[in-house]
């Protein structure tokens, strides 16, 4: 099998207590069956506490949706007491994701994680994908499905190539990859109001998103959506390419080929037009590069949580961008 991963994948390491937004808060934490069996056999007071805090295959969250095993320093007590091998699958793997297309496996890191987003934005030049041999088991594809897969991956490679082509202007990159022009700022939608209406149709993941959406709504109502944030061209094309990498090939199983292509542009538009609103900062320009970077990371992170980690929201948006609203 061929394993494909983005150029920054192997540099990822969880920042644990240094993370400003721990993934152990705000999510329901499902426990796989093997881990449940492990926890049933842990002895002593910690074992009792483990079992007391599991219900219906997941951890019972504390107020503010906090994992019961996240200590005051935002470190995992299961890791500290039992070691990394005792972590349940989701805790061990998050924010990693994997997709398999026959004899091709693709791995990546979800942008809900601030460290993953930082690595993506800090990369130099266009996004590169790394290929290597893997002994992971293959999924069977018949000859027709393999041919379709190869066509889809070829189309995706063309988008990568256009975004990476430094002989093209940024406008030409967008036009060749997505059929839109940077001269039409809100494409493929009409205006900022259209973006807001799409966002308002999505199911909220919680209060943080509700607050961000209220700020976006106020900005649109005030007619102040002229500012396009402060993403550099390299950051923009790496983000666009990464969103295509994560989602486009899934049209093999899910359909919405055009919707998945345009989702990348929609996400990028929302991130750049509403950077400060998503990140929850004032309209003042950050005073240094570190602050500016963190604002961009926070904007992408909350948008990824709201859109990429809610299947119903992805289907809604991809269907609408496909022109197949029901």
Task: Give the list of residues 6+ apart from residue 260 with CB closer than 8 angstroms, or none.
Answer: 244, 247, 248, 250, 251, 254, 318
Q: What is the pLDDT of residue 285?
A: 66
pLDDT in tens, 150-165: 999 999 999 999 999 9
Instruction: Please say whether the beta carbons of 25 and 207 come within 8 A.
Output: no
**Bridge-based pairing state of the strands 54-55 and 58-59:** antiparallel
268: in domain: yes
Strand ranges (E), the chain: 2-6, 54-55, 58-59, 96-101, 104-109, 129-133
246: in domain: yes
Note whether 150 and 213 are same-domain residues: yes
Note whether 88 and 177 are same-domain residues: no
- Mean pLDDT over the full length of the chain: 92
8: in domain: no
Q: In whole angstroms, how far apart are CA 80 and each of 23, 44, 69, 83, 244?
A: 17, 15, 10, 6, 37
Q: What is the pLDDT of residue 194?
A: 96
Token match 């500016």: residue?
292
244: in domain: yes
127: in domain: no
Note whether 179 and 86 are same-domain residues: no
pLDDT in tens, 209-266: 999 999 999 999 998 886 667 899 999 999 999 999 999 999 999 999 999 999 999 9
pLDDT in tens, 195-225: 999 999 999 988 999 999 999 999 999 988 8
Q: Which of 73, 93, 113 is the last residue of a domain?
A: 93
Instruction: Please say whether the beta carbons of 74 and 23 come within 8 A.
Output: no
Q: What is the pLDDT of residue 220?
A: 95
86 is in which domain, residue-wise?
24-93
**Structure-block tokens of residue 118:** 């930082």
Q: Is 28 exposed, middle or buried (0-12, 13-18, 19+ CB in 10 A)?
A: exposed
Q: Which of 93, 112, 129 is the last residue of a domain?
A: 93
pLDDT in tens, 115-152: 999 999 999 899 999 999 999 888 888 899 999 999 99
293: in domain: yes
Note whether 296 and 199 are same-domain residues: yes
284 has a pLDDT exceeding 80? no
Note whether 228 and 164 are same-domain residues: yes
Alpha-carbon distance 229 to 231, whole Å?
6
326 has a pLDDT exceeding 60? no
Number of domains the chain contains: 2
85: in domain: yes
């Amino acid at each position: 099998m061929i394993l494909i991963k983005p150029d920054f994948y192997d540099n990822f390491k969880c920042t644990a207590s240094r993370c400003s937004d721990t993934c152990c808060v705000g999510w329901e934490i499902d426990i796989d069956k093997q881990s449940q069996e492990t926890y049933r056999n842990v002895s002593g007071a910690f074992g009792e506490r483990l079992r007391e805090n599991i219900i219906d295959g997941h951890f019972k969250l504390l107020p503010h949706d906090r994992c019961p095993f996240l200590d005051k320093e935002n470190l995992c007590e299961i890791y500290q007491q039992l070691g990394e091998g005792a972590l349940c699958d989701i805790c061990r793997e998050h924010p990693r994701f994997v997709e398999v297309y026959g004899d091709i496996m693709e791995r990546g890191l979800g942008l809900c994680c601030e460290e993953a987003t930082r690595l993506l934005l800090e990369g130099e030049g266009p996004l590169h994908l790394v290929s290597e041999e893997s002994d992971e088991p293959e999924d069977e594809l018949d000859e027709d499905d393999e041919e379709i897969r190869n066509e889809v991956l070829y189309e995706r490679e063309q988008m990568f190539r256009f975004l990476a082509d430094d002989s093209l202007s940024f406008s030409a990159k967008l036009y060749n990859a997505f059929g839109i022009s940077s001269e039409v700022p809100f494409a493929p939608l009409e205006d900022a109001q259209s973006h807001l209406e799409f966002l308002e149709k999505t199911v909220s993941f919680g209060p943080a998103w509700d607050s961000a959406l209220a700020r976006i709504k106020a900005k649109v109502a005030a007619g102040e959506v002229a500012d396009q944030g402060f993403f550099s061209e390299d950051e923009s094309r790496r983000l666009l390419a990464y969103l295509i990498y994560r989602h486009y090939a899934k049209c093999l199983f899910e359909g919405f080929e055009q919707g998945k292509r345009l989702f990348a542009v929609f996400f990028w538009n929302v991130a750049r037009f509403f950077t400060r609103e998503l990140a929850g900062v004032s309209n003042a320009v950050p005073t240094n590069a570190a602050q500016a970077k963190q604002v961009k990371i926070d904007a992408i992170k909350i948008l990824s949580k709201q859109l990429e980690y809610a299947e119903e929201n992805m289907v809604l948006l991809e269907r609408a961008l496909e022109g197949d609203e029901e």
